[in-house]
Structure 1
Amino acid sequence: MLSLLRPLLAACIYLLLLLLPGGQGRIAGYTNGFHYQDISNGNGNGEIYFNGIRLHVESPQASVSATRGSTATLPCHYHYEPELTTPRKTRVKWSWLPANTVITHVSPEAFLKETEVMVAMGNRHRSYGSFRGRVRLRRSAPGDLSLVINELQLNDTGRYRCEVIDGLEDESVTVDLELRGVVFPYHSQKGRYHFNFFGAQQACQDQEATLATFEQLFTAWEEGLDWCNAGWLADGTVQYPITAPRDGCGGENLAPGLRSYGQRDRILHRYDAFCFAASVKGTVYFLEHLTKLNFTEAIEVCASDGGQIAKVGQLYAAWRLMGLDRCVAGWLADGSVRYPVTKARSNCGPSQPGVRSFGFPSPHLKFGVYCYR
């Protein structure tokens, strides 16, 4: 008789273990819809007990747009349901996924690529890397853990994660940071399709810009950018934007959009670049001079005027974001000659606004010059 009861007794003991509050006998992956609190917030006797309180972490904005050099606030708030009568110790960690690795559906493995920005608990906090000394928590109200970033840099764009940790509970929310700016195509002095991926990165950096992200190029296409030469983007893909389909640019029967070659070999394959320039703190201006200048003279007169010869990214940013409009060709730092037009008119090139380019003429030829100060 006892042998017949043993299986039933074992089943009862197993079921009893499953119902224990500490969860010692729970099946992996099992949940009863409630939450448990660890010993750091327990009763002081090292016991873990059921509390039924849920932690919520939210942001009223999915993305924030700002200008280079300014201050941006990435909102993040947390609260409990039901509300607590006494405060709890919480820890917040802000981390960052750079723009060139942001994808629509982020896998758990992608989280490993996130870089720590700031960690805080109570009045103690620590910031890391390039964010050290530039970030703080706003704390304008109870539950406010919004991240404030000062002196925004070109490479600060990307997806930021606000993670709030309370004992065993861990909730997070993401906010995208975008910089307002302008995308422009760029090619080597040697001609078209001379950059591998790393050369394109360096070329944009040399012109006070970064390789554009897919989102930035897509926005530029929506705003009318049409360019029939393929260029590298920050994620290692090669694409180009077409607003007016035509032969030689994917075919006239294809709909307008971004033409993509997909991922290419970052060392072997050669293309142009799509760069992204954000606003500049200083001023880009055409230097009024009695005579036209060769390239060497152009560099010298900008220095004599207390500035330096402007870079291509600076000229594009001044044109797009500050309304710079001059119908006079001038030298730039890379040896190219260009001029910005915001109000199209006769004798100033095409009927649309834009930055006109004369390419890379001989350094001995005479033009004006655009300076930056």
Structure 2
Amino acid sequence: MLGGLLRPLLAACGLVLLPAAAAAAVRFNYNNGFYYHDVSNGNGNGEIYFNGVRLFVESPQASVSATRGSSVTLPCHFHYEPELSAPRRTRVKWSWLPANAVGEPVMVAMGNRHRSYGGFRGRVRLRRSAPGDLSLVINELRLNDTGRYRCEVIDGLEDESITVELELRGVVFPYYSDKGRYRLNFLGAQQACQDQDAALATFEQLFTAWDEGLDWCNAGWLADGTVQYPITAPRDGCGGSDLAPGLRSYGQRHRLLHRFDAFCFSASIKGSVYFLASPTKLNFTEALQACAENSSHIAKVGQLYAAWRLTGLDRCDAGWLADGSVRYPITKARVNCGPPEPGVRSFGFPPRHQKFGVYCYR
């Protein structure tokens, strides 16, 4: 009845009222090539059904490990099921997802056009070794490149993504200011690590270090703004002897007002660290000059840790470092070289007129 009254009016406007069965079969064609329609005989929730073609995005590796300064490929592949008879124009967006922070764009590409962003500009490209290959190649890896990366493939209404974790091989070490313990706010901790050729460690990096035996009873900043410390041997004063081993957490702290130490992460270095042979011991000023005269620079704490952990540097001689601390690296523990475990031994920050050896970096 209503349809009979409406048809003349709609016809005058150039419109046609379709029967319900015909209306249910109407398909809307969007310029991305996908057809879809709201199926009236579905479950009543108005779901959108595609015409049987589905976009899949996959990665054969959930995580990739690499060394600082090298190149790495983060795998990402896409395909359609069923396969399409003709290629389609898809867009890919790679993003970096640092801990507890908004994702940052790395690269966006469509066809032969692409754009990279921020510190990744000029260092990234798509591999494109085969159809559907959108793997991201990052050159000249930096300390802060570690973290999760999202590969998002967009084809009109279709949008699928995967994440790949990028890990840098390196070492976590605790660090405190020459002014004493618990003197660093978050920004100061960031700067302190950077000054030692390192970066604030992530939670994952500290967890790995704890799993490998790091035990340190002083709380330090991490890259996500939390304050934590690793305990392998529970004891009083370090969270209590009745708690299980693990990471003790203070949670998020005020990044300007609260002060702690820092946990830094150092990765492989391009040069080498060595103990400078000298006929006499040196004060700090003399140590700086001695390295310069040997065509080197005085080594930083992060460089010494990286050389100890990644190249096996072992020397039972205390030496000056660039921050005014005195340390020495031991990979094979022995009598008169400190505790029975491998590690970097520290004398703290002695007066700079005292005499020691020196570690140089070239």
TM-score (normalised: structure 2): 0.89
Amino acid at match of 1:289: S
Residue 65 of structure 1 is matched in structure 2 by 65
Tell me, in whole angstroms, the C-alpha distance in 1 between the residues paired with 2:328 and 2:273.
12
Could you say what secondary structure the match of 2:277 adopts? coil
Is contact 2:200-2:265 (8 Å) kept? yes
2:77 counterpart letter in structure 1: H
- 1:160 equivalenced with 2:166 (yes/no): no
Partner of 1:211: 200
> What stretches of structure 1 move > 4 A for 4+ residues in a row?
2-6, 12-19, 23-29
1:25: how far off? Answer: 6.4
Contact 1:69 1:150 in 2 (8 A): yes
Structure 1 residues 240 and 59, CA gap change in structure 2 (3 angstroms): same
Per-residue CA distance 1:205-240 (angstroms, 9 max, x = gap): 111111111111000000000000111111111111
- Within 5 Å, give how 1:133-148 maps onto structure 2: 133-148=122-137
Alignment match, 1:243: 232
Q: Identify the residue that residue 94 of structure 1 maps to in structure 2.
A: 94
Q: What code does the residue aligned with 2:122 have?
A: G
Q: Any residues of structure 2 matched to 1:12-23 within 5 Å, and which?
A: 17=23, 19-22=25-28
**In 1: Cα distance, 2:23 partner to 2:186 partner:** 58
Aligned counterparts of 2:25 and 2:328: Cα–Cα separation in 1: 75
1:159-194 Cα offsets, whole Å, 9 max, x none, are: 111111222211111111111110000011111111
How many residues matched?
A: 342
* Residue identity matched to 2:244: A
Are the aligned partners of 2:178 and 2:349 in contact in 1 as well (CA < 8 Å)?
yes
Structure 1: tracts of 5 or more residues without a match:
7-11, 36-50, 103-112
Shift in alpha-carbon separation, 1:188–1:29, aligned structure 2, 3 A: farther
- Distance, in Å, in 2 between the alignment partners of 1:129 and 1:85 is 38
- Larger deviation, residues 256-265 vs 330-339: 256-265
1:313 aligns with 2:302: yes
Q: Deviations over 1:14-50 (max 9, x none)?
A: 7865653226768997325x32xxxxxxxxxxxxxxx
User: Identical aligned pairs, as a percentage?
Assistant: 76
State yes or no: 1:372 paired with 2:361. yes
Distance 1:134 1:256 in 2: 41
Residue 262 of structure 1 deviates from its aligned partner by 0.8
Alignment check: 8 A CA contact 2:25 2:37 kept = no
Deviation at 1:92, TM superposition (A): 1.3
The structural deviation recorded for 1:246 is 0.6
The farther-off stretch of 12-21 and 181-190 is: 12-21
Cα distance in 1 for residues equivalent to 2:58 and 2:162: 6
Q: Deviations over 1:87-106 (max 9, x none)?
A: 111121111112x327xxxx
Distance 2:353 2:39 in 1: 80
CA distance 1:122–1:274, shift in 2 (3 Å): same
Counterpart amino acid of 1:256? P
1:326 aligns with 2:315: yes
Identify which range, 89-98 or 232-241, moves more after superposition: 89-98
Q: Which moved more, 1:84-93 or 1:137-146?
A: 84-93
> Quick check: 1:30 aligned with 2:36?
no
CA contact (8 A) 1:17 1:26 kept: no
- Matches of residues 1-373 of structure 1 in structure 2 within 5 Å? 2=1, 17=23, 19-22=25-28, 30-32=46-48, 34-35=49-50, 51-98=51-98, 100-101=99-100, 113-373=102-362
Shift of 1:76: 0.2
Aligned residue for 2:328, secondary structure, equals strand
Is the Cα contact below 8 Å between 2:38 and 2:47 reproduced in 1? Answer: no
* Backbone CA RMSD of aligned residues: 2.3
Partner-residue secondary structure (3-state), 2:305? helix
User: Matches of 2:330 and 2:259 in 1, distance apart?
Assistant: 31
